[in-house]
Amino acid sequence: MSEPGRFCPVDYRYAPGSFARAPDFATETLYVVGGLYGNLRSLDAIERLAIREAGRIVIVFNGDFHWFDATSERFAEVSRRVSGQRPLRGNVETEIARADDVGAGCGCAYPGAVDEGTVERSNRILVRLRACVDALPGVRDQLGALPMTLVAAVGHLRIGIVHGDAESLAGWRFAHDALDDPAARSWLEGVRAASGVDIFACSHTCLPALRDFDLDVGRLTVINNGAAGMPNFRGTTFGVITRIGLHPSPHRPLYHVERDGAFIEALPIHYDQQRWLQEFVTIWPPGSPAYASYFNRLIDGPAFSLNEAAAWHASRGAMRQAFAP
């Protein structure tokens, strides 16, 4: 598909073998924050969680930290706070950074199951973001210089950090339904063998997933945090981030898996919902593309359940706590 919003540019591509390199950094605790979407109240909450962590912690913003922050002032604040951590560019940052339009629209590379209205509105949101960046000299160059991938070491484990999947910045092969397709196994075998990665941490698809594969070439864990800046489950108003650490989190996870001395966890992000909604509708009032696409999700979550994200890893106590009114 070559239409804007569905088209995946060639420069989004990388090989699974590109992860077979020395780690870019090592840490005791890793937060992977995908899909912040310009939600500063979520960023406040994430920073509060990080303060309570013991030992060394690295926070990676793995793309799409911009989206709803479509004023120059708010965009600049998100950029400033994220730049103090380890940011990667997602499709949003990549398309904002381009000097010339290559026809990718928002760069989401939406699959056919996503309706045309959603695609068209996402393209319009990206156009508005590009316009607000015109008042911020140097920002496009800064975003364009960000890497697409990182390799982290937590203990003996190698973590590949991406926005999309193991082959593309906007890939959808780490979506929950794609991972559950039996046909994915041969691709995952090839990815594991070529990359030498034990855990892939991703986002992009806007819905979370945790899957743990016992492959012929070795164990592979994939954790997709969905969205840090939006609700991820029906009837909820919290975001989700990924935590990988040598010790259990001081915060109760929604679900987790332990392997090789590390804890791989999905943490709920309980941000100031009332304040965030006020900020959102100020920038994106009724009738705007972001309001049409996202407001219902912001107030009541998507049609998705915690069991669909990671049924066999769910902590029932955490589920009761996180879903409490």
Q: What is the DSSP letter of 17?
A: G
- Using DSSP bridges, classify how beta strands 29-32 and 57-62 pair: parallel, antiparallel or unpaired: parallel
Q: What pLDDT score was predicted for residue 100? A: 81
Residue 31 domain flag: yes
Q: What pLDDT score was predicted for residue 312? A: 57
Q: What pLDDT score was predicted for residue 302? A: 98
What's 268's domain CATH number?
Answer: 3.60.21.10
What's the domain range around 199?
Answer: 10-322
Residue 4 domain flag: no
Residue 1 domain flag: no
Q: What pLDDT score was predicted for residue 99? A: 84
Residue 2 domain flag: no
- pLDDT < 70 stretches in the chain: 1, 311-325
Q: What pLDDT score was predicted for residue 72? A: 96
Provide the number of structural domains found in the chain: 1
Reported as a single tens digit per residue, the pLDDT across 283-315 is 999 999 999 999 999 999 999 999 999 865 444
Q: What pLDDT score was predicted for residue 204? A: 97
Q: What pLDDT score was predicted for residue 105? A: 92
Residue 3 domain flag: no
CA distances from 60 to 13, 65, 70, 93, 294 (A): 20, 11, 22, 15, 24
Residue 140 domain flag: yes
Residue 281 domain flag: yes
DSSP 179-248: HTSTTHHHHHHHHHHHH--SEEEE-SSSS-EEEEEEETTEEEEEEE---SSS--STT---EEEEEEESS-
Residue 207 domain flag: yes
